[in-house]
Structure 1
Amino acid sequence: MRILYGVQATGQGHISRARAMAHALKQHPDVDVTWLFSGRPRERLFDMEPFGDFQHRAGLTFVTEAGRLRYRKTIMANRYWQFIRDVQRLDVKAYDLVVTDYEPVTAWAGKLRRQPVLGIGHQYAFGKNTPVEGRSLAQHAVMSLFAPVAQGVGLHWSDFGANILPPILDLPPAPTAAANDYILVYLPFEDQSAVTKWLNGFSEHRFIQYASTLPNDEQGNVKRRTANIAGFKSDLASARGVVCNCGFELISECLHWRKPVLTKPLAKQMEQLSNGAALETLGYATVMRQIDNDLTARWLAAPPPAPGLSFPDVSATLASWLADGAKAPVATLGAALWGQPAAV
């Protein structure tokens, strides 16, 4: 079984899911996976060892500034002729199965050559029963056409539809030690200097702030760290709470490890706004639509208890399903996984 697995690398969450799937697929020696990443320059990818000799394409990406999605700059920043050439040159017929986690080169190459593409990711979970916020006609069109698939396997925090499974997690065993007295902060779409200054305003609290552009230093009550997988997961395990944007994967990890979350969705980005709506509907986190000092102060003083959640091992189930040619109905997988005891 030869699988081409495309991963959108604009956000770290897609890569985190792919890392879990890579480990799970390695348990099937008859499966040969070629990984393809796009949406971020190759030199800015890190901790990519699980993917071996992976392929890279420019793909398509989104431009954000100061916590907002910038549509005009996004349109100007992408190299469309390069994208078209990459789609035309990708030989999807060499594979038995083509899978994409919202990666557009693999998705469109399959569509061009009439080879069915299977989508596995959070973006395929927005059906009629899933909470949605901020979806204009333009955003709906972009979301539908960005990485089109023949079949979508959605991932979410609740079974909003028959095609939806619990989150795929790339986490070590759950921490057993008591949490330390600091808050982990990961707001990659914000101005990092502004974030540090904002956190300095809560001088009675300690923070660890992560971003790919930060140096390893200390600014008053804020330790700043360059993004890396091992350090981040270690600090997440010991944090008493998390302040972050509304990306699906990190919040899934927080819910699984029962960390209180204060989250700020990326403005004008439908997926993150909808994640915020889902969290509010489910009562799983505190959501602020913009930086709110009063709300933050109240949350820091007394973070609401995290919900008593833990999710099953979805990556192992999906790896076995893919190794078998993805034959069983997704609804059958969902019924089994939502009813499984948690993998803690």
Structure 2
Amino acid sequence: MKIFYGIQGTGNGHITRGRIMARELQAANLEVTYQFSGRPWDKFFDMEVFNGYQWRQGLTFITEKGKIDHLKTVWHSKPLRFFNDIRELDLSSYDLVICDYEPVTAWAARRQNKKTIGISHQYAFHYNIPRAGNDPVSETIMQNFAPVDTRIGLHWHHFHQPLLPPVIETPYVPQQIQKNKIIVYLPFEDQQQVMSILAPFKSFDFLLYSPEVMASVHAHIHCNPLSLQGFQKDLSDCAGIICNAGFELASESLQLGKKILVKPLHAQMEQASNALALQTLGYGRMMPIMDAAIIEQWLHETRAIRVTFPNTARYLVQWIKDGMPQIDQSWCNRIWSEVKVIPVEIP
């Protein structure tokens, strides 16, 4: 079977999920061509697992100071190039198209009547799951951004819908946790503002990761460039993480048993809904704006939740090899039966 796999590159979560799927697809001896869009070519990193890949500009949302800038989003969208990319992408030699919310792939497949399956958290929003901040415009964009034939939605809980657990690594959980070590990943926020809010909490060590590294004048705030290996190392033994409300990083943090505080991207329905789901499930805390009082209270919490997820990627690859039979609730339930929710005390 020859597969074309399009992956949204705006956030690192889609790429992280793609790496896991790529390893399972390779282990199953399936031939895959990968395409990425949503960020400049030179901003991708740690892409070796994809064995060379195609790139298109695609579509992305422009953010500034923690919220979507709709005018800049329209200005940078370059619709003519987007439509040309759709027309020029030839999928005729492929047996299957997989889409992780990548619009060029999705629309090219639809134009060429290619069978397409979507594997992403965004496809969970086609079902009855917790929602916040939704409006007709957001719903329309979510439904039409990257349309597919078969939607496989991923989430932290099934909510009695035909959803699957996150596609995520099964990590090594270290025995020793540094109780005052906190990871901060808020790439859509003003980094100077983030540092000024964290500055008073001198009994904690904050490791701040961002696309643009800034100098820190605070001994307890350490600024780092984006690095898959470095980030994973720090995440493994930290006590908690402060981040935007993206899906994949929260999934990794839950799998590791980290306490989580999310600040959803303003006017972004998916992130607002993720924050609501985390809080509803009791898996994390949420702050609608950068709030020092909420951060201080959260920093002193000594309890977290570990959610152990199965190897969803392996189930999906086997499902593909089996001919992609219709997904029924019993198959989903069998996978969810492997999920364990365990309270964790932070020493």
1:316 pairs, out of 314, 317, 326, with: 314
Alignment of 1:27-46 (within 5 A): 27-29=27-29, 31-46=30-45
Take 1:194 and 1:103, find their aligned partners in 2: how far apart are those partners? Answer: 32
What stretches of structure 1 of length at least 5 have no aligned partner?
none
By how many angstroms is 1:295 displaced?
1.1
Alignment of 1:203-218 (within 5 A): 203-214=202-213
Instruction: Tell me whether 55-64 or 292-301 shows the greater mean CA deviation.
Output: 292-301
By how many angstroms is 1:161 displaced?
4.6
Take 1:330 and 1:19, find their aligned partners in 2: how far apart are those partners? Answer: 26
Report sequence identity in percent: 40
Contact 1:66–1:189 (8 Å) recurs in 2: yes
Residues 138-192 of structure 1, C-alpha deviations (whole Å, 9 max, x = no match): 1111111110111100000000254310001135322233335211110011111
Take 1:102 and 1:65, find their aligned partners in 2: how far apart are those partners? Answer: 22
Take 2:203 and 2:134, find their aligned partners in 1: how far apart are those partners? Answer: 39
Alignment of 1:264-343 (within 5 A): 264-303=263-302, 305-329=303-327, 331-340=329-338
Take 1:255 and 1:341, find their aligned partners in 2: how far apart are those partners? Answer: 12
How big is the alpha-carbon RMSD for the aligned residues of Structure 1 and Structure 2?
1.8
Amino acid across the alignment from 2:101: Y
Instruction: Tell me whether 166-175 or 75-84 shows the greater mean CA deviation.
Output: 166-175
Alignment of 1:20-169 (within 5 A): 20-29=20-29, 31-169=30-168
Contact 2:307–2:339 (8 Å) recurs in 1: no
Take 1:172 and 1:216, find their aligned partners in 2: how far apart are those partners? Answer: 31
Take 1:121 and 1:268, find their aligned partners in 2: how far apart are those partners? Answer: 20
- Equivalent pairs counted in the alignment come to 342
Given the superposition, is the C-alpha separation of residues 65 and 337 from structure 1 closer, same or farther in structure 2, using an over 3 Å criterion?
same
Amino acid across the alignment from 1:247: G
Residues 107-153 of structure 1, C-alpha deviations (whole Å, 9 max, x = no match): 00011112231100000111442000111101111111110111100
By how many angstroms is 1:332 displaced?
4.3
Residues 214-244 of structure 1, C-alpha deviations (whole Å, 9 max, x = no match): 1586732101110100000010001011111
Residues 11-69 of structure 1, C-alpha deviations (whole Å, 9 max, x = no match): 0000000011011111112x101010000111000000000111110000010011111
Aligned residue number for residue 15 of structure 1 = 15
Alignment of 1:170-319 (within 5 A): 170=169, 172-214=171-213, 219-303=218-302, 305-319=303-317
Q: TM-score, normalised by structure 1?
A: 0.95
Amino acid across the alignment from 2:31: D
Take 1:176 and 1:186, find their aligned partners in 2: how far apart are those partners? Answer: 24
Contact 1:125–1:161 (8 Å) recurs in 2: no
By how many angstroms is 1:341 displaced?
5.5
Take 1:128 and 1:343, find their aligned partners in 2: how far apart are those partners? Answer: 23
By how many angstroms is 1:76 displaced?
1.2
Instruction: Tell me whether 203-212 or 242-251 shows the greater mean CA deviation.
Output: 203-212
Instruction: Tell me whether 258-267 or 211-220 shows the greater mean CA deviation.
Output: 211-220
Contact 2:127–2:161 (8 Å) recurs in 1: no
Take 2:173 and 2:4, find their aligned partners in 1: how far apart are those partners? Answer: 31
Given the superposition, is the C-alpha separation of residues 216 and 116 from structure 1 closer, same or farther in structure 2, using an over 3 Å criterion?
farther
Take 1:73 and 1:43, find their aligned partners in 2: how far apart are those partners? Answer: 21
Contact 1:61–1:78 (8 Å) recurs in 2: yes
What stretches of structure 2 of length at least 5 have no aligned partner?
343-347
- Find the residue that maps to 2:241 and give its secondary structure: strand
Take 2:76 and 2:11, find their aligned partners in 1: how far apart are those partners? Answer: 16
Q: TM-score, normalised by structure 2?
A: 0.94
Contact 1:57–1:86 (8 Å) recurs in 2: yes
Instruction: Tell me whether 14-23 or 176-185 shows the greater mean CA deviation.
Output: 176-185
Instruction: Tell me whether 86-95 or 164-173 shows the greater mean CA deviation.
Output: 164-173
Contact 1:8–1:102 (8 Å) recurs in 2: yes
Contact 2:134–2:269 (8 Å) recurs in 1: yes
Amino acid across the alignment from 1:323: K
Residues 59-87 of structure 1, C-alpha deviations (whole Å, 9 max, x = no match): 00010011111122111111111110110
Aligned residue number for residue 3 of structure 1 = 3
- Find the residue that maps to 2:114 and give its secondary structure: coil
Amino acid across the alignment from 1:2: K
By how many angstroms is 1:342 displaced?
5.6
- Find the residue that maps to 1:306 and give its secondary structure: strand
- Find the residue that maps to 1:99 and give its secondary structure: strand
By how many angstroms is 1:103 displaced?
0.2
